[in-house]
Amino acid sequence: MVPMAAGARPELFTQRRRPLWELLIDRGFQKLVVLLASVVGLVLVGILFTVLGGSTEAIGRFGLGFLTTSNWDPIAEQYGAFTAIYGTVVSSLLALLIAVPLGVGTAIFLTENIIPLPIRQVLGVMVELLAAIPSVVLGLWAIFVMEPFLRPFLELLHTSLGWMPFFSTVPMGPGMAPAILILVVTVLPIITAISRDSLQQVPTELRQAAYGIGTTRWEAILQVILPAAVSGITGGVMLALGRAMGETMAVTMIIGNSNNFTLSLLAPGNTIASMLANQFGEADGFQVSALMYAALVLMLLTLVVNVLAQWIVRRLSLKYA
């Protein structure tokens, strides 16, 4: 190759300078995406301040007593959210009590080679599609199909176990028990999906080693595979708890929306979310502030649960190189 004399075609050797407009677009785009990313932060702060700002009046008037009294009387302007808070916590915990064994069991069934892969895949897609059904449709189904079907069983529960305070009322239709069952349906796909992911991430070597020393399938699952996946599963269960506490439509349609406190699971009850859905549209004046206060409580509850879930997944996850 013939070396070219310097200066003959200098444009070949000089670095290409970026035109100003190109530089501006590049910088501008960078600023734009930073701005768009910060929208998330702005929305979070906005939610917090809107709800906090809306509830200051009620906080000032009721203080923490709001959380422990169950008197909800818009005419006398007396508000206490204990029934709704109790309903939120009890309904989500009982729903999880049913949904966790079902979900984790299904996840095991879908990851271990008990049945052929094609069937497992179809079942997996079906569970995922269950998550896609809008909760208002689940609520409609619960009102017209599930609750009438369930009532004889709940009545049986009342006649045989009515001496317990949890079954002390005659089931009249909407109530806590059907709401809990529909909550199970809404959180089941979450628990199944996350447990399935965690189980699939357990290294093959662990399974092989377990089977190699002569365990049965279930000894391997219970003593090797599940312990290895437990952090992911726990995180998923916490996420499901957050979802169950915030679940609105299906619960609103079937829980009966009563603010009278009762221990009975067969009687109508209330959750914070269902109370908001029912009353917010028609509320004005001071009631809005009281509802905002309830919304604040719900937000803090779900926030704590969700942050805890993220922390569990990050801290407790076993690291496999």
Q: Which is nearer to another protein, 150 or 263 (CB)?
A: 150
- Pick from 57, 72, 49, 85: nearest CA to 273: 85
For the window 64-103, what string marks contact with another protein as x by the rule CB under 8 A?
A: -------------------------------------xxx
Q: Which is nearer to another protein, 73 or 219 (CB)?
A: 219
Nearest approach, Cβ of 187 to another protein (angstroms)? 11
For the window 30-59, what string marks contact with another protein as x by the rule CB under 8 A?
A: x-xxxxxxxxxx-xx-xx--xx-xx-----
When asked if residue 172 is in the footprint of another protein (CB under 8 A), the reply is no
Nearest approach, Cβ of 270 to another protein (angstroms)? 13
CA 98 from centre of chain: 15
Backbone dihedral region for residue 114 (phi beyond 0: left; psi -120 to 50: alpha; all else: beta): alpha
What are residue 73's DSSP bridge partners? 78
Nearest approach, Cβ of 27 to another protein (angstroms)? 9
**Number of amino acids touching another protein (CB under 8 A):** 91
Nearest approach, Cβ of 159 to another protein (angstroms)? 25
Q: Which is nearer to another protein, 59 or 123 (CB)?
A: 123
Q: How far is Cα 92 from Cα 134, in angstroms, rounded to an integer?
A: 18
Q: How far is Cα 20 from Cα 155, in angstroms, rounded to an integer?
A: 78
Nearest approach, Cβ of 106 to another protein (angstroms)? 4
Q: How far is Cα 72 from Cα 82, in angstroms, rounded to an integer?
A: 9
The torsion angles phi and psi of 78, rounded to 5 degrees, stand at -110, 125
The torsion angles phi and psi of 73, rounded to 5 degrees, stand at -130, 95
Nearest approach, Cβ of 130 to another protein (angstroms)? 4
Render 219-287 in DSSP notation, one character per residue.
HHIIIIIHHHHHHHHHHHHHHHHHHHHH--HHHHHHS----S--S-SSS----HHHHHHHHTTT--THH
Chain residues 238-277 in contact with another protein, contact rule CB under 8 A = 239, 242-243, 245-249, 252-253, 273, 276-277
Q: Which stretch binds another protein (CB under 8 A): 127-135, 157-165, 198-206, 228-236?
A: 127-135
Q: How far is Cα 103 from Cα 57, in angstroms, rounded to an integer?
A: 42
Nearest approach, Cβ of 177 to another protein (angstroms)? 16
Chain residues 177-216 in contact with another protein, contact rule CB under 8 A = 185, 188, 192, 216
For the window 281-320, what string marks contact with another protein as x by the rule CB under 8 A?
A: x------x--xx--x--xx--xx-xxx-xx----------
Nearest approach, Cβ of 83 to another protein (angstroms)? 17
Find the binder of another protein among 4, 26, 68, 260 (CB under 8 A). Answer: 26
Q: How far is Cα 194 from Cα 179, in angstroms, rounded to an integer?
A: 23
Q: Which is nearer to another protein, 86 or 168 (CB)?
A: 86
Q: How far is Cα 289 from Cα 59, in angstroms, rounded to an integer?
A: 8
Residue type (1 letter), 110: L
Q: Is 78 helix (H, G, I), strand (E, B) or coil?
A: strand
Strand (E) or helix (H) holding 224: none
Chain residues 145-164 in contact with another protein, contact rule CB under 8 A = 145
